[in-house]
Amino acid sequence: MKQRINTIIFLFTCFSLLIFLSGCSGKTNESSPGEAAAAGEVTIRVGQTGWGNLEEGLKAAGLGDTPYHVKYSVFQGGNLILEAMAAGQVDFGITSEIPPIFASQAAGDGGFKVVAVQEGNTLNQEVVVAQGSPIHSIADLKGKKVAFVKNTTAHYFLLKMLEEAGLRWQDIDAVELSTADGLSALISGKVDALASYGNAIISAHQKDAITIASAKDILSGSFLVNVSDSAIKDSAQQKAIADYLKRINQFHEWSRSHLQEWAQITADATHQPVEQALQTLQEGEAQRHSRIIAASAETIRSEQDVADTFTKADVLSQPVKVSTFWSDAFSSGLSTNK
């Protein structure tokens, strides 16, 4: 009997020890938020326009192996990136000067801040017509159907071109379409002209479209770096984005010394001849080197001029003070315009 009791006590002790060790093992596998961040659990969600140029660029330059996760998404325009940012789906995205002006009017001021400026070229920002069209100038657009992408550079430069030609916005039949739908409408003859940018203009020329006006001397070449308010407030994400900005600048430096290689990657992604992609890259870099710089009074003033143009044209219901959605949270790690 005594032996039986001793056996029961021994088994109970072993069972208790196993429970204790199991509990200790479970605790050691748990990690605090700081430990998770150190282990590479930080994620930044990046929006790209047109195609995956940032993702492919960092990869090609050997900069894609980041100590944090990067989740990429592609959008047809910067306005859509900021819509996704307002919905809490994107943390980082580069747009033209125009989308932030309209996004700032949304609920919660859009949930973003402009934190830096990417200087770049203003090529492939045009108004085009189909080959054989009787339209040869902006003045000829009076009474015509013109497709454009709302709240983007296309919207802005079309306004400026019409003004220079002595026309008002009301003098044309403006048709709001996405880049892809606008191109389709032009090719099918549903619209008379297309104001667009990027791949849509490249593809339009492949379909023998004719340029009647270019915005290369209208646009500033300032592309704004937008970051969600939540990412700015999160110290781990902020650190990751600061590193990501440096990697983009390193990629720009790499691309200038590897133009042929980058042209091939670009051509494959955008379905254009590599010679055309190379020429665009060469002309773009000749016009203005691509690089990310800190925000300045000059860049803020440039966007304010854009906002005032939309206000004057009654596109905005009230004046917008653009400095309210700019932040210097990342300026210390970036060079200035000087």
The DSSP string of 23-38 is HHHHHHH---HHHHHH
Query: Does pLDDT of 25 surpass 80?
Result: no
- Do the beta carbons of residue 299 and residue 337 sit within 8 Å? yes
Query: Does pLDDT of 237 surpass 50?
Result: yes
User: How many whole angstroms separate alpha carbon 259 and alpha carbon 265?
Assistant: 10
Distance of CA 25 to the CA centre of its chain: 44
Query: Does pLDDT of 205 surpass 80?
Result: yes
Render pLDDT for 245-262 as a digit per residue (tens, 0 to 9).
999 999 999 999 999 999
Average pLDDT, the chain: 88
User: How many whole angstroms separate alpha carbon 162 and alpha carbon 247?
Assistant: 39
In the numeric block, which tokens belong to residue 125?
């920002």
Task: Sketch the domain layout of the chain as residue ranges.
Answer: 40-121+220-333, 125-214
What are residue 44's DSSP bridge partners? 70
User: How many whole angstroms separate alpha carbon 58 and alpha carbon 294?
Assistant: 21
- Per CATH, domain 40-121+220-333 is 3.30.70.3420: no
User: How many whole angstroms separate alpha carbon 159 and alpha carbon 149?
Assistant: 12
State the alpha helices, DSSP H only, in 166-294. Answer: 179-188, 199-206, 229-233, 235-257, 259-270, 274-287
Pairing state of beta strands 43-49 and 92-95?
parallel
End-to-end CA distance of the chain: 93
Average pLDDT over residues 48-55: 95
Average pLDDT over residues 152-166: 95
Alpha-carbon distances of 302 from 1, 21, 137, 153, 261, rounded to whole Å = 94, 64, 27, 13, 34
- The pTM assigned to this predicted structure is 0.82
User: How many whole angstroms separate alpha carbon 155 and alpha carbon 203?
Assistant: 19
Confidence of residue 88 (pLDDT cuts 50, 70, 90): very high
- Do the beta carbons of residue 81 and residue 90 sit within 8 Å? yes
CB atoms within 10 A of CB 14: 9
**Fold observed for domain 125-214:** D-Maltodextrin-Binding Protein; domain 2 (3.40.190)
Considering the chain, what percentage of its residues have pLDDT values greater than 90?
A: 80
Query: Does pLDDT of 235 surpass 80?
Result: yes
- From 132, 27, 149, select the one nearest 79 (Cα to Cα): 149
Alpha-carbon distances of 64 from 17, 40, 68, 188, 193, rounded to whole Å = 47, 14, 10, 40, 40
Of the listed ranges 2-16, 20-34, 105-119, 142-156, the least confidently predicted one is: 20-34
Confidence of residue 336 (pLDDT cuts 50, 70, 90): confident
